[in-house]
Amino acid sequence: MSTLTERYVQEVVRRIPGDQRDEVAGELRATIADTLEARGAPEAERDVLIEMGDPIRLAAGYADRPLTLIGPELYPAYTRLMAVLLSTVLPLTVAAAVVLDVLDHNDAGSAIGAGIGALFAVGAQLVVWPTAVFALIERSRLRRGSALTAPWTPDDLPEPGRSPARRTARAYASAVWDMLLLALIVWQHAAKPYGTDGGERAEVLLWSGWMWPVVAGLAGMALAELVRIAVGGWNLRLATGYAAAGAVFALPLAWVLYRHEFFDPAFLADVEVAPAFYTVAALGVLAVTAGDVVRRFREAV
């Protein structure tokens, strides 16, 4: 085996999983040798390798690894999700940023600036993170059999007189609510919108270590809702993911409420909150989240 062929084979096999390398290397060497023998021209080795193509492309075929960021199987679900995010979530988030800036007693110029800032900042996040998630799914073995790659059937067509947007209005509302709530929690932590009697700025909700899983759970719930919109319905795997995100969100939040550590002490210095509020709120969070999870599983089966 010549040095040129061996270099080509090694360039291919180093890009595929280790358990396939010996088999693929033997197959490639045999293919190249048989082709050269059939042509009866050993000097045609360079031409044979050119015909076999770029080693990166050949290795991708052996490893079933896509050479596109998002392939044709996932592309329809990706475009549906992006349409929802950019036509629904982004405008509402920008509007919320403007309203919150106005409520903070700023002038029109400040409110416009807040809206433009939210448009670019949130818009970039809504494009980058879903694209990154879909790119990872594209390269994952979980792509096979995923609801995202389920074949299209006529059942996916909208019912007469009803648009897809109306059919999934509840999912839209739930996803938007989760994302706006997430944005509000993060915003009040960063902006400290409450002005105390001493003229200092304070949070309304106390950002403790428990708030991180609450935020992560909200993000997971919103993501599950958006994927549900993209694939056109719930399945058991997606409902299980929503349930896990719901637990990450609800359990720490209920614990914080139970311990009366929900509001910032500076806010409580000016506002009196009845002790019963914490108990009712904790039970409400658990009940509402559990009800949402049950509904998702009912729709999945």
Residues 112-164 have pLDDT tens digits of: 887 888 888 888 877 888 888 788 777 765 555 555 555 655 555 555 544 44
Q: What is the dihedral of CA 36, 40, 46, 49, to 10 degrees?
A: -30
pLDDT score of 165 more than 50: no
> How does the average pLDDT of the chain come out, rounded?
80
- Provide the pLDDT for residue 163: 47
- Provide the pLDDT for residue 217: 92
pLDDT digits (tens, 9 = 90+) for 83-111: 877 877 788 778 877 777 776 666 777 77
| Higher pLDDT pick, 240 / 101 | 240
- Provide the pLDDT for residue 192: 80
* Alpha-carbon gap, residue 154 to 10, rounded angstroms: 47
| Higher pLDDT pick, 126 / 197 | 126
CA distances from 197 to 193, 261, 273 (A): 13, 21, 18
- Provide the pLDDT for residue 58: 86
* Alpha-carbon gap, residue 225 to 292, rounded angstroms: 11
pLDDT score of 200 more than 80: no
| Higher pLDDT pick, 46 / 250 | 250
What percentage of the chain exceeds 90 in pLDDT?
11
- Provide the pLDDT for residue 186: 83
- Provide the pLDDT for residue 249: 94
- Provide the pLDDT for residue 146: 53
Which of the four pLDDT bands, split at 50, 70 and 90, describes residue 250? very high
* Alpha-carbon gap, residue 45 to 38, rounded angstroms: 12
pLDDT digits (tens, 9 = 90+) for 7-42: 888 888 888 888 888 888 888 888 888 888 888 776
